[in-house]
Structure formats: C-alpha cells, structure tokens
A and B are shown apart, each in its own frame.
Chain A
Amino acid sequence: MDQVVPQRSDLRKMEDWLWEIPKSFRKDMRVPAQVYTSEEMIDSVLGDKSMWQLVNMTTLPGIQKYALAMPDVHQGYGFPVGGVAAFDIKDGVISPGGIGYDINCGVRLVGTDKSFNDVKDKLEDLAQAISEWVPSGVGKGGRITFKGSDMDDVLKNGVPEIVKKGYATEDDLDHTESGGVLSDADPRDVSLNAKKRGKDQLGTLGAGNHFLDVCYVDKVFDDKNAEKMGLYENQVVSLIHTGSRGLGHQIATDYVRLHMKAMSKYGIELPDRELACVPLSSEEGQQYWRAMCAGANFAWCNRQFIMWELRQAWDQVFGGGSDRLNLVYDIAHNIAKIEEYEVDGKKKKLIVHRKGATRSFPGQTVLIPGTMATSSYVLVGQETAMEKTFGSTCHGAGRSMSRRKARMTVQPQELLKRMRELGIVVVSGSTRGFIEEAPESYKDIHNVVDVVDSAGIAKKVVRLRPVVVVKC
C-alpha cells in the first residue's frame, strides 16, 4: 500500500476555506481531493493519516469531480471520517467501507415545550430517569424484542412500520430524513448473523461516542429559520446520537468481505482493501444497496424507539407532557443516497457516500453535535452545498486525540468536577467510555462549524448547551 501522506506543501489553497490535493499528487488518482478547513485547523488535518485516506478515495472507479473531506475530518479506515464521494450510478461503484460499519449512524433533535428555568431543579431526576429508560452500554439489550416477522417488517418498512404500533407519529415521519424509510430495503439481503446481532437492540444507545443529551438553546443566530424549526432561546431540547448497532455492523462486515472477493471479477484494483467496492449496477452492488437500506431503516427505528423511551422518562419526572415532545429533525451521517447533481453541465444521478458527513440540502435542518461539555449546533442547508459538496456538510467536532491518549491524560474525577462546575449532570456506566469522550479529545466545535458557515455550505441557526449527558 502506497502510504505517502500528503504534506502542507502538497495542498493548494483554492478559496478561503478550501484546499486541494491535485490529481498529480499520485498517479492512481482519478480526481483531485478537496478539504474544507481553516488556516487554524489545517495542521491538525495533516496530523494523522486522514489526507492519505482521502487520496485513496480518489482512486475509486466512477468517482465524480473530487473526493471531499469536511472540517471535522479525522483518520478512520478506508474513507476518513468526514469523507464524501459521489459516483455515477451507471458506471460507478458502491463501497460499504465508504459508508462505515455503523450504517445510518445519525442524530435526532427532540424539541420540548419547557424552558431551562422549568427544568433546572430536576436535572438529576431527569438524568436518572433517562438512564433507566434508555439502555446503553455494550451488549445491553432493549425492551423491544422481535416476534415472527417483526424484524423483517422493520427492516423493510422503517419508521412507518412502528407508527402502526404507537411508537411514532405521522409528524415524526415528516421530520425524519427520507421519512424514516429507504424503500429499496430487502431483508432477504441481510444475513442471519446480522439479524441475530440486532434482535434485542432496538431502542438502545450502544457505547463509544453514542449519547443522549438534554440541552437548551443558548444562542439564536437566525430567528427566521429557528422559528421555522420551532426553536427559541432557552428552550430545552434533546439530542440522540446512535445508529444501527450490531445489525448494521454485521451488514457492513458481510458486504466488505463479499465485495473484496468480487472486485477482481470487475477488474477493480485499489490501494486499500477496506475500500472494497463493486459497480452499483452489479448483482453484489445491488445486494449491498438493499441491505444498506434495511440497515438504515433499522437505525431510524432505533432512534425513534429511544425518543419513545425519552418520552416515558419525561412523563416520569414531569408527570406528563411528553406528548409535547416533538421531533425537530433526524439526520443520517453514515449512509449512501442516490441524488441528482450537475456534473460538466449535465444533470446526473449519483450515489453519494457520506461517512461521517451530513446532508445539507437547501432549507433542510442540519444537526452537528459537539462534545459533552461544549456546544452543539443546528444549521440550515444551503444551495452552495449542492454546487460544491454534493449537498453535504460536517457531522460533528471530529476526534483529534486517540482514545488511549485520552485515557492517559484525562483524570475521571477532574473531568467530572469540570462537568459539575459547568452545571452538567452526567450519567455514564463506564469510566473508560466517559474519559475517552472528554472534550479535549475533539476539535473545537466552534471552529469546525465556523468553516462550513463561512464557506456557505450550511448556515448557523441556533447553538445548544448541554445540561444532562447520558452515555455508556
């Protein structure tokens, strides 16, 4: 594997917030690589292998225009986290590693009708109730178990399936990306092992960087769009971050393996096996597409069930009123979507891979969670994103410190004290998980969001401040 990592001198500044690694950097590049960042953050972007992974993305067959990295980019495997690439649906590929193992990992923002003053004396009770209602941690099963064809129904029909069972409303569907269902899903393309891994995981957060936060709106940047989204200053809201759990992990595992075996049949050679891909139009490509859609449907249902559990916790603490918890928006940040863009003056259908990147369509709500002790942002998508970034923007703050280093440098008691001083109540089942997610493990969320705002691919609407953090 050619591991020449791009240096600062290999990056050419194109615009104030945009740098490019030209096609001439490596002979197997089919298109240039572009990164949205700032002068302040560019050294951290070059501090790990993410730019090498970005260059590897440019070698995939059928890639259009450029491979993109968002300002929260960091080293992953295959694609870097924060990577976006689009492929022609006729002669381009689909790559499970370009979507990631946690298919449709995403974020959901829930609005409430309470202001911070209404809840500030009940934060401990709320944190406790949420941690009792929402299972988190490794191997923690949920309260929803499948019978008969239940699993296949969820995989096939997504959130509309659970509207019938009272876990979601029609209004929830209107505020979920793609209405909470990708209609090409086919449970028959999902392995038995994947279904077994997911059998008791609906309504569970999982571990790692997944969380449920209660926050309040501490700053409004754009009154008009805030009002449109139903958000206002001091309003209490909740952010839910999780994905398709073991079911999605196994779908990706199964298909990276299948595609790696099948690549030679299509004459595809790559610098990294984790980029394993096949033509979208091939049998193996279509199988993965249908399985990925099923995994995405499972993830939307997972976040929907967690919202239902949040409602139960809310009622327990406030004695009712959970019917006034509304879904502001639910967005995916590990997914592939078929979308239309202009390429060389012609409209083309492309399959856009977003791995740690969020859709940013004009007028659409964009959710960018920060760290447990800083801020999160709600933005609105812009037309510029359609022109420049295949309708995409960043998905979070982006890690900058390894988990091991975090464990060596962060003291749990000191972090807990710091959180208390900030007025944040924490419930975490794992000290290790808690310190690995310390705010200093991440880039500065304000700097990251400023890049996409200044570049015009998404604009700030409100800022959220956390007051309760529930995680594994």
Chain B
Amino acid sequence: MSYKRLEHTADVEVLVEADSLESLFCDSLDAMVEIMGPEKKGDKSTNRTVSIGSIDLTALLIDFLSEVLALSEINNEYYEVEKIQFMNENRVEVVLAGRPIETFSEDIKAVTYHEADVVQDKDGKWSTKIIFDI
C-alpha cells in the first residue's frame, strides 16, 4: 500500500500513489480501511460485487469508496478488493471480499470530492488526494 497522510485541520487527508489505475483503486480502499481501523471478528469472507458509474475517473474513485463505506456500515464488514472485473473512465465493477468486524475505531462519515484529482504523471504513475470527513 502506498499512501501518506497530509495535514488537515479537522478531517483526514491522504495522498495515494500507485503504478496502475487498478492499484490506485485497491490502495485507496486499503487506506480507507486502515483509517477506519476494523476490530476484526473471525476470518469468514463474503464476496460482494459493486458496480459504479460516474462522470469521470476522479468521481469514479470517490463514488467507489463511498459505496464501500456504506456497505461497511450496513453489513458490519471491512473490505478488500478481490478482483476488478471491469474498469474504464466511467465505470468500474469490483468483487470485494468482506470480513466481519466487532467495530471500527474511526467513524468516517463520508468520502469527499474536495481536492480529489486522479492524475497520471509522465512516468505513468497514478495519484490523487482524498479527504475523508471524520
């Protein structure tokens, strides 16, 4: 996982960097889960598929994370990417592996679009900032 925390007065801001777009999605989810701090309850894994359509790549990443955040609270599970089945600029379909939790140590209220900008640099590396509302 490649992300670092940035200074933000009230919320949690991270910079995620990855060698591929797929990795950026996986690493962003891993960063979110690490911030949430799941207190794990067993290893039983349940696969769940999420399919998201958005206006562009940046919105797609934020909307994907928002969907996983909602699932986490509804199902009391934490998630990692099992498989990315499909991805383009406007749509992503992901199979998630969900594992049960007792609780999370941090309450992420929402994933925001503020300052998020998925970009690829001249060396092919992908990155974005993400601010989580705490």
A interface residues with partner B (beta carbon < 8 Å): 1, 48, 50, 74-78, 81, 97, 100-102, 137-140, 193, 196-197, 206-208, 246, 249-250, 252-253, 256-257, 260-261, 272-274, 276, 399-405, 430, 432, 472
Contacts and interface: CB of A to CB of B under 8 A. Distances in A.
Interface string B16-48: 000000000000000000001000000000000
Nearest to A195: B74
Interface of B: 5, 7-12, 36, 54-55, 58-59, 63, 66, 70, 73-74, 76, 101, 103-107, 109-117, 131, 133-134
A101 B12 contact: no
B103 A404 contact: no
B10 A74 contact: yes
A273 B73 CA distance: 25
A261 B55 contact: yes
A402 B103 contact: no
B114 A260 contact: no
A430 B134 CA distance: 15
Given A261-B55, A404-B5, A405-B7, A272 B114 contact: yes
Given A101-B109, A197-B74, A256-B113, 5 more contacts: A139-B101, A273-B114, A274-B112, A276-B113, A430-B105
Nearest to A275: B114
B132 to A, nearest CB: 9
30 contacts: A1-B115, A50-B9, A74-B9, A75-B9, A76-B11, A77-B113, A77-B131, A81-B10, A100-B133, A101-B110, A101-B133, A138-B105, A138-B106, A140-B103, A193-B70, A207-B107, A246-B70, A249-B109, A253-B66, A260-B59, A272-B114, A274-B114, A399-B9, A401-B9, A402-B7, A402-B9, A403-B10, A404-B12, A405-B7, A432-B105
Quick one: which of B11, B59, B116 has the most chain A CB within 10 A?
B11
From DSSP, what is the main secondary structure of chain A's interface residues? mixed
B35 to A, nearest CB: 10
Contacts of B133: 77, 100-101, 249
A139 B76 contact: yes
Contacts of B9: 48, 50, 74-75, 399-402
A138 B107 CA distance: 5
Given A75-B9, A76-B10, A257-B63, A102 B109 contact: yes
Given A75-B9, A256-B113, A405-B7, A197 B70 contact: yes
A404 B113 CA distance: 21
A402 B59 CA distance: 26
A260 B10 CA distance: 24
A139 B114 contact: no
A139 B110 contact: no
Nearest to A47: B9
A100 B59 CA distance: 18
Q: Which of A75, A276, A399 has the most CB of B within 10 A?
A: A75
A193 B115 CA distance: 26
A246 B133 CA distance: 12
A97 B115 CA distance: 13
B128 to A, nearest CB: 12
Contacts of A97: 112, 114
A432 B106 contact: yes
Nearest to A137: B103
A274 B113 contact: yes
A82 to B, nearest CB: 10
A35 to B, nearest CB: 15
Contact of B73 (A75, A197, A207, A260): A197
